[in-house]
Amino acid sequence: MKKSDQVSPYFLYDLDKIRVFIELSDRHWKEESIKYNESDLETDEETCWDRYKYRNDLTAHFESIFPQYQKQSYLVMLVSLFEDYMNQICHSLHFEKELCCKLHDYKGSGIDRAKKYLRKVALINVPTGNKFWKLIIDARDIRNIVAHNAGHLDEEIHKNHLQIVASNEHLDAEKFARVHIDIKQDFLFDIIDAMENFAKEINVNIKNA
């Protein structure tokens, strides 16, 4: 088990890897879109078959649909990584300080349970009164829509989520048969920045506790 002051550095390293992965993946989709649009059945049948199975209807998929699938996957991964990070801090502090109860003995679930455990059991100052924490929670709520509703929003049930989308310039809600979330790459980078700032601050608070 990592020591409590080691958990944040490992998490920050993971975030840096994901940032690079997102940048490279975005470049990949742009390059693949160019390759697809330049493919010609008459001059390069092998590419048209091996890569695209003679499909000539994939332009919109490469330009927007496939990248959006991937951005939604990144969001799920980022929030899951953060939740695991919070849990690992709790487990490490329980072991080091011989706290009265384990995280899994505490009521609740996810990020909120870890936050309450750190505050009330481990007596750690959790920095939640800033824009970084708000963005992390917004990201979690949008992640839930992706994970449980395939990115679709109900205009009656998901009013709070629609407010999150409306207030963030890097999110959009598009309506066709249903309303669905459109995630821009800068939203992911903003989440990474917020998580990095949170991790650095809480790591200082853990050392000073």
Q: What is the pLDDT of residues 146-200, one digit of tens each?
A: 999 999 999 899 999 999 999 999 999 988 889 999 999 999 999 999 999 999 9
Give me the mean pLDDT over the 82-101 stretch: 95
Distances (CA, A) of 192 to 60, 81, 83, 85: 28, 11, 13, 13
Distance CA 82, CA 89 (A): 11
pLDDT at 39 over 80: no
Q: What pLDDT was estimated at residue 80?
A: 97
Q: What pLDDT was estimated at residue 106?
A: 85
Give the start-to-end residue ranges of the domains of the chain. 4-208
pLDDT at 139 over 70: yes
| 63 or 74, higher pLDDT | 74
User: pTM for the full model?
Assistant: 0.92
pLDDT digits (tens, 9 = 90+) for 98-119: 999 999 998 889 999 999 999 9
